[in-house]
Chain A
Amino acid sequence: MARRAGALIAAGLAALTLGPVAVVLAQAGRGGVGTADLAALRFTVTQAALSALASTACAVPLARALARRRFAGRRLMITALGAPFLLPVIVAVLGLLAVFGRAGLVNGGLRLLGLAPVSIFGLGGVVLAHIFLNMPLATRMLLQGWQAIPAERLRLAASLDFRPTDFWRHIEAPMLRDVLPGVLLAVFAICLTSFAVVLIVGGGPAATTVELAIYQAIRFEFDLPRAATLALMQVGTCGLAVALASFFTTPGGFGAGLDRQADLPAPGGWRQLIDFGAIGLAATFLALPIGAVVLRGVPGLASLPAGVWPGLLTSLLVALCTAPLAVSAALVLALARAHGARWLEPVAMLPMAGSQLVLGTGLFLLVFPFVAPPDMAVPVTILVTAVMALPFAYRILLPEARVLVADYGTLAESLGLCGWAALRLLILPRLRRPLGFALGLTAALAVGDLGVVALFAAEHGATLPLVISRLMAAYRMEAAAAASLLLVIAAFGVFWICDRWGRAGAEL
């Protein structure tokens, strides 16, 4: 049942992601890719791989520290980890520049000390920016892994007098081998299609990504087959990464627990020092740019232009429709995958590597002969955002869906528990925490997404990100900063509500 529904959704998803690419590919044009494109592909993969490794490497000690330490403000910090990921690109970049830029805090400090300034621009800056944007997400996903270790194993470890190294070898390492490849994959896929951040912080054409080549192909050359070919290269790369990740994923095999509460062992001494060091460093690294975003936005808040409010409403409406759509589809896929449908894995990850511009263009070509694109603005936005957000939700749900099927699958089958009853009695209660997180994340992504909206935009009814880009184009940078702060508050608000629902009753 779950597998059949999964197959159905996967088919729809594949059609939605590959259909538009096929349509774009079928248009007239020269097509073909050149050496510059191969260089772009090489750079894209390099920066994405480095970013994924660095983000995850930073996330592991942070997630571990957050999992086993208790301190005031811990809940707040875990919630706030959602924030960087939700920032509109240019807002995040300006926040980072306020800290690491020429006129930023770091260089101000260096100048005071009489030292030469450092430049953020270049490959190092790209990786730094991607760490800022993705390390928190990676941390949250890893934290779920630590959280999912059954209390019974912790007690067993305690009664066996595990030292920290034993605990690492028998409990944490196997858990990470289960969770880490997926986290790496998610960050890699995000960075693969990241384009504005890479170009701005990358410092010039040496930092050309495949997505930028796609822009050029569509907008200046109008060579649609070329754009589609480039998009397929991107998808192919992601496909390889999916294969690699699933090769390295080995189930943790902890077995079922009884949901007792137990704290992870929190060794003292230098380990405690390192844990709090990691927490302090991460908090500073993440809080400074976000603080800068808030500071830039506050002065304009009192005089926000009227056009911002309908924009906010439209964005919230989109989020309200997108999140349940994406998460329910992702849940079905994750359960089907957990039941053994391995082939679902690449399909569920497809949209993450898809080019937004090609997807939008393809949908435009599909829709245009029948209806005026501006009339379809909101439905298309909802659909595309849901498709784009689905892989995130899937990644978040999958590890615990696997555990659910491994621990309760047989029991549920022997009881004939299926359909709504299974959803109500088994799935919702067991997966509540990742479901809340996934709902929050997709809703927040939908609030902040500019994506394909631009192609389908109507004269009225712009979403908030579009209003912000219009404000910036009209020189109103202060108003744009304030509207961005509003966007962050809104995105973070919906994230917080959903995440809180998910965590209610669960110690995290």
Chain B
Amino acid sequence: MKSLKFAAGLAFVATSVAAETPVLNVLTYDSFVSEWGPGPAIETGFEAECSCDLRFIPAGDGAALLARVQLEGARTDADVVLGLDTNLTAAARETGLFAPHGQAPELDLPVAFEDANFVPYDWGWFAFVHNRTLDAPKNFRDLAGSDLKIVIQDPRSSTPGLGLLMWVKAAYGDEAAQVWKDLADNIVTVTPGWSEAYGMFLEGEADMVLSYTTSPAYHLISEQDDSKTAAVFDEGNYMQVEVMGKLAASDQPELADRFMAYMLSDAAQAVLPTTNWMYPAHVPAEGLPKGFETLVQPTKSLLLGADEAEALRAPALEEWRAALAR
């Protein structure tokens, strides 16, 4: 009887401890959470020091993420949203759901980055990935003049697709429509997402695919295959900066701050290059993983400001559609 009381007491203590463990909900894109993404290592690392329960809520891809935040609105359980890119942050800020991050992160981005609501955790250059044997074009005009075939993603359903739209716009401004018209006969097809396009490229359906300069690192490091490389364009390569932000409605604002700080720590940043296959926003003390030094480095980095990107999106999309809908 006594031992039963003891056990009951113990159970009570145990449940109250469990109840006191704060939970931090992080809404992110699906591939971040998967066992091949950064999620599991980040979860283990952060939980070891926060005495909290870190839970990821997967929500499709980057574009779906913003829709999800808007669907849930202020009632959301999420504390942090991780995985938007700068083409979406203006729309995200517009919702009024995000709180200022109040941090002064030390960043290693090739361009200056300033945003009161969002902190970058990794970034990459968009680039056309191709086989090393290919004599790659030097810019979009070169590409349009060649008979090379490319696969791209649809800017209406995919964030890399939207990135390409901004890339052409940032590089060519008012001439973007003409560039798209000239590119039309090079585009084999437009896929809904990154995976389909990359898969088709690997199957030999195109000479080049829109991806990142860091994509060849996957093949090199995970498959010991150095046959892939990416093209540096002399008008510059557009960047994708992936950011995270704290929701104003969070019931764990301090924990959210700690998580965002942790994401920029050496421990977390060292995980990203070989799981997300992007550059870390802050290069960890031990440097980049071996193999990353072989990657091509664009000499010029393009990135539109969040507001500019938001303002350009609709007209650029219309230009794109009109030029390609032959």
Task: Determine if A200 and B71 form an interchain contact, defined as CB atoms under 8 angstroms apart.
Answer: no
Let me know if B311 is at the binding interface, CB within 8 A.
no
Interface string of B55-71 (1 = CB under 8 A from A): 11111110110111011
* Complex partner residue of B215 from A195, A215, A307, A475, CB under 8 angstroms: A475
Let me know if B19 is at the binding interface, CB within 8 A.
no
Task: Determine if B195 and A472 form an interchain contact, defined as CB atoms under 8 angstroms apart.
Answer: yes
Interface string of B190-210 (1 = CB under 8 A from A): 111011101110111110000
B325 / chain A contacts, CB cutoff of 8 Å: 39, 204-206, 208
- Distance of A471 Cα from B298 Cα, bound (Å): 28
Task: Determine if B56 and A459 form an interchain contact, defined as CB atoms under 8 angstroms apart.
Answer: yes
Stretch from B111-119, B149-157, B259-267 at the A interface? B149-157
Task: Determine if A459 and B58 form an interchain contact, defined as CB atoms under 8 angstroms apart.
Answer: yes
Let me know if A372 is at the binding interface, CB within 8 A.
yes
Let me know if A454 is at the binding interface, CB within 8 A.
yes
Min distance, Cβ A74 to any Cβ of chain B, angstroms: 33
Task: Determine if B75 and A205 form an interchain contact, defined as CB atoms under 8 angstroms apart.
Answer: no
Let me know if B308 is at the binding interface, CB within 8 A.
no
Interface string of A62-87 (1 = CB under 8 A from B): 00000000000000000000000000
**Number of residues from A at the complex interface, CB < 8 A:** 58
Task: Determine if B57 and A222 form an interchain contact, defined as CB atoms under 8 angstroms apart.
Answer: no
- In the complex, what residue of chain A is closest to B88 when comparing beta carbons? A220
* Complex partner residue of A473 from B34, B157, B219, CB under 8 angstroms: B34
Task: Determine if B320 and A205 form an interchain contact, defined as CB atoms under 8 angstroms apart.
Answer: yes
- In the complex, what residue of chain A is closest to B218 when comparing beta carbons? A475
Let me know if B77 is at the binding interface, CB within 8 A.
yes
* Complex partner residue of B191 from A199, A365, A369, CB under 8 angstroms: A199
Task: Determine if A474 and B31 form an interchain contact, defined as CB atoms under 8 angstroms apart.
Answer: yes
Let me know if B222 is at the binding interface, CB within 8 A.
yes
Let me know if B81 is at the binding interface, CB within 8 A.
no
Of B75, B194, B195, B326, which is in contact with the most chain A CB atoms at under 10 Å from its CB? B195
* Complex partner residue of A203 from B156, B188, B275, CB under 8 angstroms: B188
A459 / chain B contacts, CB cutoff of 8 Å: 33, 39, 55-58
Let me know if B36 is at the binding interface, CB within 8 A.
yes
Task: Determine if A222 and B67 form an interchain contact, defined as CB atoms under 8 angstroms apart.
Answer: yes
Determine chain A's interface SS by DSSP, over half rule.
helix
Let me know if A170 is at the binding interface, CB within 8 A.
no
Stretch from A90-98, A175-183, A413-421 at the B interface? A90-98
- Distance of A205 Cα from B149 Cα, bound (Å): 17
Q: Which residues of B (149-208) have their CB < 8 Å from a CB of A?
A: 149, 154, 156-157, 162, 184, 187-192, 194-196, 198-200, 202-206
Task: Determine if A466 and B156 form an interchain contact, defined as CB atoms under 8 angstroms apart.
Answer: no
A454 / chain B contacts, CB cutoff of 8 Å: 30, 59-60, 64
- Distance of A202 Cα from B189 Cα, bound (Å): 7
Let me know if A314 is at the binding interface, CB within 8 A.
no
Task: Determine if A369 and B59 form an interchain contact, defined as CB atoms under 8 angstroms apart.
Answer: no
Task: Determine if A121 and B188 form an interchain contact, defined as CB atoms under 8 angstroms apart.
Answer: yes
- Distance of A305 Cα from B157 Cα, bound (Å): 28
* Complex partner residue of A103 from B36, B63, B67, B203, CB under 8 angstroms: B203
Min distance, Cβ A145 to any Cβ of chain B, angstroms: 36
A36 / chain B contacts, CB cutoff of 8 Å: 321
Let me know if B277 is at the binding interface, CB within 8 A.
yes
B194 / chain A contacts, CB cutoff of 8 Å: 473
Let me know if A153 is at the binding interface, CB within 8 A.
no
A328 / chain B contacts, CB cutoff of 8 Å: none
Task: Determine if B154 and A222 form an interchain contact, defined as CB atoms under 8 angstroms apart.
Answer: no
* Complex partner residue of A469 from B30, B71, B162, B275, CB under 8 angstroms: B30
* Complex partner residue of B202 from A202, A204, A361, A477, CB under 8 angstroms: A477
* Complex partner residue of B60 from A196, A369, A455, CB under 8 angstroms: A455
**Number of residues from B at the complex interface, CB < 8 A:** 61
Min distance, Cβ B8 to any Cβ of chain A, angstroms: 29
Of B55, B57, B203, which is in contact with the most chain A CB atoms at under 10 Å from its CB? B203
Task: Determine if B203 and A199 form an interchain contact, defined as CB atoms under 8 angstroms apart.
Answer: no
Q: Which residues of B (56-111) have their CB < 8 Å from a CB of A?
A: 56-61, 63-64, 66-68, 70-72, 75, 77, 91
B35 / chain A contacts, CB cutoff of 8 Å: 305-307, 470
Let me know if B13 is at the binding interface, CB within 8 A.
no
B196 / chain A contacts, CB cutoff of 8 Å: 90, 93, 196, 200
Let me know if B324 is at the binding interface, CB within 8 A.
yes
- In the complex, what residue of chain B is closest to A39 when comparing beta carbons? B325
Let me know if A216 is at the binding interface, CB within 8 A.
yes
Q: Which residues of B (288-326) have their CB < 8 Å from a CB of A?
A: 313, 320-321, 324-326
Task: Given A196-B192, A469-B195, answer yes or no on A102-B30 (Cβ-Cβ < 8 Å).
Answer: no
Interface string of B270-285 (1 = CB under 8 A from A): 0000010100000000
* Complex partner residue of A471 from B36, B203, B326, CB under 8 angstroms: B36
- Distance of A375 Cα from B33 Cα, bound (Å): 17
- Distance of A172 Cα from B220 Cα, bound (Å): 61
* Complex partner residue of A474 from B34, B321, B324, CB under 8 angstroms: B34
Task: Determine if A455 and B34 form an interchain contact, defined as CB atoms under 8 angstroms apart.
Answer: no
- Distance of A457 Cα from B56 Cα, bound (Å): 10
* Complex partner residue of A101 from B37, B59, B203, CB under 8 angstroms: B203
* Complex partner residue of B190 from A39, A205, A220, A306, CB under 8 angstroms: A205
Interface string of A214-231 (1 = CB under 8 A from B): 011011101000000000
- Distance of A97 Cα from B156 Cα, bound (Å): 24
Let me know if A476 is at the binding interface, CB within 8 A.
yes
- Distance of A44 Cα from B34 Cα, bound (Å): 34
Task: Given A199-B190, A474-B31, A476-B36, answer yes or no on A212-B154 (Cβ-Cβ < 8 Å).
Answer: yes
Min distance, Cβ B181 to any Cβ of chain A, angstroms: 12
- In the complex, what residue of chain B is closest to A36 when comparing beta carbons? B321
- Distance of A293 Cα from B188 Cα, bound (Å): 21
Task: Given A457-B58, A477-B198, answer yes or no on A470-B34 (Cβ-Cβ < 8 Å).
Answer: yes
- Distance of A369 Cα from B75 Cα, bound (Å): 8
Min distance, Cβ A76 to any Cβ of chain B, angstroms: 28
Let me know if A374 is at the binding interface, CB within 8 A.
yes
- Distance of A504 Cα from B179 Cα, bound (Å): 62
Task: Given A473-B30, A475-B198, A477-B198, answer yes or no on A220-B192 (Cβ-Cβ < 8 Å).
Answer: no
- Distance of A37 Cα from B176 Cα, bound (Å): 23
B188 / chain A contacts, CB cutoff of 8 Å: 102, 119, 121, 203
B56 / chain A contacts, CB cutoff of 8 Å: 459
A475 / chain B contacts, CB cutoff of 8 Å: 198, 215, 218-219, 222, 277
Task: Determine if B157 and A219 form an interchain contact, defined as CB atoms under 8 angstroms apart.
Answer: yes
Task: Determine if A200 and B36 form an interchain contact, defined as CB atoms under 8 angstroms apart.
Answer: no
B198 / chain A contacts, CB cutoff of 8 Å: 472, 475, 477
Task: Given A216-B157, A222-B70, A457-B59, answer yes or no on A94-B64 (Cβ-Cβ < 8 Å).
Answer: no
- Distance of A63 Cα from B23 Cα, bound (Å): 59
B320 / chain A contacts, CB cutoff of 8 Å: 205
B71 / chain A contacts, CB cutoff of 8 Å: 361, 364-365, 368
- Report the 5 A-B pairs with minimum CB-CB distance, sorted nearest first: A103-B204, A474-B36, A473-B31, A470-B34, A472-B195
Can you list 12 A-B pairs, Cβ within 8 angstroms, ordered by A? A97-B203, A101-B203, A199-B191, A200-B191, A205-B321, A205-B325, A212-B156, A216-B157, A219-B63, A455-B60, A455-B68, A457-B30
